[in-house]
Each structure stands twice: as C-alpha cells, then as structure tokens.
Structure 1
C-alpha cells in the first residue's frame, strides 16, 4: 500500500535555522552541487579550487526515482554515493518486511564506506523521494580527497556529526515520548536544511509519508498522525501542501529539549 505524503495530513515545522559553522557562504545559484560545497564549507572552510573540484562531480549526477534501493545491505559499493537533491534514507529491514530508518540523507550527505575501505554496508540505502544522486567511482573519489585535503577534513568532520546524530536518534527513541521525539526530529531537520540553504523563516519542504516518519521515530502511522495533530492544535506547527512551518520554535525546542550542538 502506498502511503500519502504527510502533507495530506497537514503536519508542519518551523523555527529559525542557525547560521552554519564558520558563517559559510550562501549557495550560489541554489544548485545541488553548491549545496554539497555549502555543507562541507560549514565544517572546514574551502578554497575556490576545492569548490571547483566539487563542481566537477556534476558529471556523475543522475535522476533517481523514489523508493529506489541504491545500495543493498551487505553489498560493497565501489563508489561514493552522494545525495544532491531529495531525501534518501539508511535503513534496516526484518524478514517480516518491517523497516527501521536509521538516518535521513538530505542534499550534501553521502556514503563512502565502500569507496574508502571496501567494507560491506550493514544497512541499505534507499531514496524516499525523487532524487538526484551521484555515484563517484572509487578512483575519482580518492583522487579528489588526495588533491584537496580541506575537502577530506570537512568530510571527516561531517562523519563525526553523522555519528553524533545517530546517537541522538537512539536516545530519541529510547528516552522521549512520541510527542517529544517527533518535535526533536522536526527541530533537527530544520537545523540541517537551514545549514544548506533549504530552510528559511522556520519553513522547509518535507515531502515524506507518515510511514517514513513512523519508521524513523519507532512509532505507528496512527501514532504519528495523532502527534502531528497535537502539535498543530498546540500552535507549534502548521502546513500548507508539503511546506512545513514551525510557528513557535522556542516552545518546540523546549518540548524536545533540542540542542543543536551535536550537528
């Protein structure tokens, strides 16, 4: 059964996004390649040559339809997988078919485990929406890192943030109520999207289904629907189409006990 986007259930998000680390430059032209450079520039300031090298990855970008498995669990990818547009996810699935989303991948996020180390993934990666994805061959990726140490440093720091985010998600499911964990996820997405220039004035597009949210939050679809409705009734969020807006960012952060330092 195909689940409708949460926009149909009228969820919402908000909150003013924080300025990225190092006051990274705003994306030029708004393109997906600039999004990658913008994210990495927030972890380690890049030079013009670094940014030009990242621009060179455009040749590997291809459109990918939603619900496409990009890497299967236990597979070794001989390329670096980079999201340039859309939402993807890391997930595990049981034999019963039940899925647990371990992370949302947004523009600028990547998986390079196979390219760097030749290790198999202990999870799968799948697009949640229509995406633009780059599969950068191992040789080209390693050459990029060797020639541009600032890019390599930024990627190392980005991995540390990913690890911290995974720990926060674990704490979210283990220690917070359904209302609190949903609020926390919305605050986190606003922060992450804001840092790559895809959220402003407490608003961003969230073209996910309630099932996508439920599988990330460890809740049922019905529970997610009830939580979203409660957040709306309390005046914390609103929605028009798939555009989420956080109406009371301070209250939402207080509810979630959200601190963005781990990002």
Structure 2
C-alpha cells in the first residue's frame, strides 16, 4: 500500500497555510525533539526561558516506538502523560470485527494527560501510526511541571480547547462533506498543524501515512480514497509521484474543502 512522504504547496502566499498564531512561535528548527512541544505551546501563550528549559527537560523521558505499537489501551488509565515528540500517532476506535476509525492524529507536540489529571480511563486506543519518539512522563513529574510553570499549564488548557474544536471539525468532515471535500480538508488541516510547529519548510511537510491510515481517518474505503486522490490529481489540485504529494492549487483546495483555520 502506498505511503505518502512529503507534501509541497506551490503557492506559499496563500493566507492560512503558514498562519501566524495569536502568539508567534520561535523560528523553525527540528534539531531537538523538544522543540515541537515548546513551539506548539508557545502558540497558545507566551513562555519564558524557564518554561522552555522545563519542556526541554522532558526529552529525558523520550524513547523510540515502532509503528503499530499500542501506547495506551482503550479503557486503560495511564499513570503518565504521553507526549509525541516525533512521528504520527492516532486515537482509534475499534469494532469487534477489526474495523478501525481514526478519530484524531497526535503529531509532534501533542499529548494525552487524561489519566494523570483525572484518573479516568480512555474511551479509545492510542497507537503509533509510524515510527515515533514518545515520552511517558510520570504523574509526579508532570504535576510538578504544571505546578511550577503556570504559563505551561495555561497553554495546555488552551491546546485542549483547540483539540476539542478539531474533534468537532472531524465529525463535521465525516458527516457533512463528500469524500473529495473531506480529503482536501484533511490535507489543509495538516499543513496548518505542522506549520505551527515549524515542520513546514519551503512549502513541504512529511506525511508518512498509508492510504489505509487515511481511509480509516476519512471514513472511506481504500478504493474510494484512491479514486478521490486520482480525481484531485486529474483536476490539477495535487500531484502524487513517488511518495511526494504536491498541492498545486492551494486556494482551490481550500475553497473545495471550505477550510477555515480558526478552529486550530
């Protein structure tokens, strides 16, 4: 099954694809795995040097995780905060038949702290979609971080609101948009989210997902998704060659999806 590696936007002047957040994050850079988390939270509120140093300190908990590793089981109560520093993970719902619906992506800088904060079980599974770098931060260390760094705690609260709004948008995507529209919407959303953490360079971003992953995200069969991608290519909205996805007409793609980035 085909895997997408890189996406390229051909019109970098399009508003929204590299949108500046309410609080501007530092300049792009991917040399340290802690950068994505600091950049994301800086987009939701100003952080000082002590805050950034504390976030960098979490990299001591980072470990590599192989693709398809289950990070938190459904109905499990995690005694740690789970933070993705590299790669793509997902929140999944599974049926007894084995069918899967991906209900959210966890990209670098995203986290799950439900068990730590609320001692409450997850109603879904968290799984690594790709090779990932993941930190499992023990409850005591995580709560200490929030207590000592109120700016981080506030930024995390705002990030949760954006995550909730994104979940609502995904429901609308599956419920109201055609297969072509929902695919276009997801491509636009990922450009935004990855751009916010400095992982869009020269209009390109990594998208290491299979067509099965994307189909399970969009509520489509793999065959239907393949037809959608072919239609987008035929209409000269995207070009797909050798694991490279190129967005040829960003304005048209955004218009097709009715994509507005304010919820992010």
TM-score > 0.5 by shorter chain: yes
Partner of 1:104: 105
Moved more, 194-203 or 117-126: 194-203
| Unmatched 5+ stretches in structure 1 | none
Say yes or no: does 1:92 pair with 2:90.
no
Say yes or no: does 1:204 pair with 2:202.
no
SS at the partner of 1:66?
Answer: coil
Aligned ranges 1:37-56 → 2 under 5 Å: 37-56=38-57
1:5 alignment partner, one of 3, 12, 21: 3
Moved more, 199-208 or 30-39: 199-208
SS at the partner of 2:205?
Answer: strand
Query: C-alpha offsets along residues 43-74 of structure 1, whole Å, 9 cap, x if unaligned?
Result: 00100000000010011000000000000000
Query: C-alpha offsets along residues 193-214 of structure 1, whole Å, 9 cap, x if unaligned?
Result: 0111111343211110001000
Partner of 1:192: 193
d(CA) in 1 for partners of 2:22, 2:246: 23
TM (norm. structure 2) is 0.94
Partner of 1:140: 141
Offset of 1:30 from its aligned partner? 3.3
Partner of 1:254: 255
Query: C-alpha offsets along residues 16-46 of structure 1, whole Å, 9 cap, x if unaligned?
Result: 4222331211245532201110000000010
Change (3 A) 1:53 1:37: same
TM (norm. structure 1) is 0.94
d(CA) in 2 for partners of 1:31, 1:178: 37
d(CA) in 2 for partners of 1:244, 1:81: 30
d(CA) in 1 for partners of 2:224, 2:168: 23
Offset of 1:191 from its aligned partner? 0.4
User: Are the counterparts in 2 of residues 13 and 237 from structure 1 also a CA contact under 8 Å?
Assistant: no
Give every structure 1 segment of 4 or more consecutive aligned residues whose post-TM-superposition deviation is greater than 6 Å: none
d(CA) in 2 for partners of 1:56, 1:65: 23
**Aligned-residue CA RMSD (Å):** 1.5
Partner of 1:130: 131
d(CA) in 1 for partners of 2:189, 2:246: 13
Offset of 1:6 from its aligned partner? 4.1
d(CA) in 1 for partners of 2:23, 2:156: 15
SS at the partner of 1:46?
Answer: coil
d(CA) in 2 for partners of 1:243, 1:140: 40
User: Are the counterparts in 2 of residues 182 and 217 from structure 1 also a CA contact under 8 Å?
Assistant: yes
d(CA) in 1 for partners of 2:227, 2:137: 42
Offset of 1:12 from its aligned partner? 5.2
Query: C-alpha offsets along residues 144-202 of structure 1, whole Å, 9 cap, x if unaligned?
Result: 00000000000000000000000000000000000000000000000000111111343
Aligned ranges 1:142-161 → 2 under 5 Å: 142-161=143-162
